[in-house]
Amino acid sequence: MPIRSRARQLMCALLLAATSAPALAQEGAGDPEARAQALFAEAWRLMDQRRPAEACMLFRRALELKRSPSTLNNVGRCQQQENDLLGAIATFESSVELAQQQPPGPKRNTWLKGAQRELSLLQQQVARLALQLPDMPGLEVEIDGEPLAPGARHVYLLPGRHRLTASAPDRVPHEVELQLSAGTSEEHRVPELRSPAVGPVLAGTGDPAPSAAGSGLQQDWPPPSSQASPRVLPWALIGAGSAVVVGGVITGLLASSKEGELERNCPSDTCPSPDVDPGWQGRIDDTRRMALVTDVLWGVGLAAVGAGVTLLVLEPEGDEPQPEAELQAGCRGSGCGFELRGRF
C-alpha cells in the first residue's frame, strides 16, 4: 500500500509539471523573478492541499530561477521531510548567509530566525568535524571517498564511523578512521604530509619522526662504541658489582637461616645420625655450598665496585689511552672464584 501511494504521488507530480508549467510560464514569460514567484505561490497552494512531494518540486524549480532566503528555507524543509539531513543543513546555511545580506526589516528577521532555528535542531542530529589542514600544494582531502570542497574547514557528517584521507603529489597519504556521535563537535588536525624518504611517523600523533639532518640530533644513534663516553665502563662495573653484592646478601641470609635450622636440630652438639635422618648430610652440604656462593658473590661484587672506582679515579683526560678492565668469575672442579685483569 505505501508503494502504491508513493507511485500515485509521483504520477500526480508529473501531471502537475506537465499541466501547470505552460500556465506558469505564460504568467511570467520572459521574467525569471515573476516565474519564480508564480512557482512559489503554486507550491504553497499544494502544501495547503497536503501534496508535499509536488510542492517541493515547485520550490526547487523556483529556487533555480531566483535564490531567496524564503525559497531556501522551504527547500530545506523539503529535504528534512526526505531525511536528507546533510543537504538540509547546507541549504539552511545558505539561507542564513543570504538573509544576512538583505536590508534590515521584518522579512529579513523572519527568514534569518527560521533558518537558524532549523539549523539548531538539525545540528543535534549530526556530528560536526572541524579540520586543521596544512598549507601544502595539491592537497586533497576525502571523507568516505567524497572530496572535501576547496577551502572548507568543517563538515557535517552522520553519526557513525568515517574514513578521512589526505593526499598530495609525491607525499605519503594520511589516513585515519573517525568515530563520530550525534550532537558532538570534533576536531582533527591533518599533519604535514611527509616525503616517502622521511623516516617513520611518530606513534599516536600522525607527525613524521624528526630526521637527523637539520634537527640537531646526532645521526649515529646509538653512538658507535668508539664514541662512547669513557665513564660508561667504570659506572657499569660499579652497577654490576653492586648488583652482585646484593645477590651475595640474599644468599648469605638464606645460608644463615639454614645454618640456624641445623643448629636447632643439634642440641648439645649432638646431631642426628644418617640412619635416623638420611637427608641430614644433604642439608649440611647445601648450606656449605650456599655459604661458598655467598663468599664468591661478595668477592666478585666488591672487586667489580673497586675496579669501577679505580677507573673513575684514574680516568685520563684528552687523548690518553683509556683504562681497560676485565672481570671473570666462575666455578671449576676445585671450587669457585674470580679473576680481574686490567690495564690502568
CB 172 within 8 A of CB 156: no
Q: Which of 290, 297, 295, 287 is nearest to 327 (CA)?
A: 297
pLDDT in tens, the chain (344 residues): 444 444 455 444 444 444 454 444 444 456 888 999 999 999 999 999 999 999 999 999 999 999 999 999 999 999 999 999 999 999 999 999 999 999 999 999 999 999 999 999 999 999 999 999 998 899 999 999 999 988 888 899 999 999 999 999 999 999 999 999 999 999 999 999 998 875 555 544 555 555 444 443 334 444 444 444 556 777 787 788 788 778 878 887 887 887 777 677 776 666 766 666 667 677 777 878 878 888 887 788 788 777 777 877 776 554 455 555 555 555 555 555 656 565 55
**137 and 63 co-located in one domain:** no
Distances in whole angstroms, Cα of residue 6 to Cα of each of 54, 82, 278: 12, 13, 99
Q: Considering only CA atoms, which of 177, 190, 193 is closest in space to residue 131?
A: 190
Question: What integer pLDDT is reported at residue 219 of this predicted model?
Answer: 41
Does residue 142 sit in the same domain as residue 233?
A: no
Do 260 and 302 belong together in one domain?
A: yes
Range of the domain at 286: 228-343
316 and 252 co-located in one domain: yes
Residue 70: per-residue pLDDT: 93
User: Hey, is 39 helix, strand or coil?
Assistant: helix
Residue 203 lies in a domain: no
Quick one: 109 and 155 in the same domain? no
pTM for this prediction: 0.49
Number of helices and strands in the chain (H, E): 8, 9
Asked if residue 319 is part of any domain, the answer here is yes
Find the angle CA(207)-CA(210)-CA(212) to the nearest 5 degrees: 160
Torsion of CA 250, 251, 254, 256, to 10 degrees: -110
pLDDT of amino acid 24: 46
Whether 206 is in a domain gets the answer no
pLDDT at 173: 94
On whether both 83 and 160 belong to a single domain, the answer is no
> What count of residues does the chain have?
344
Say how many domains are in the chain: 3
The confidence score (pLDDT) of residue 127 equals 94
Residue 215 belongs to a domain: no
Residue 293: helix, strand or coil by DSSP? helix
Across the chain, the runs of DSSP E, i.e. the strands, are 127-132, 140-143, 146-147, 154-157, 160-167, 174-180, 185-189, 324-332, 335-343
pLDDT of the residue at 65: 93
- Helical packing angle, 280-313 and 232-264, nearest 10°: 160
Question: Looking at residue 330, what is its pLDDT?
Answer: 59
At residue 203, the pLDDT reads: 47
Rounded distance between C-alpha atoms, residue 244 and residue 251, angstroms: 11
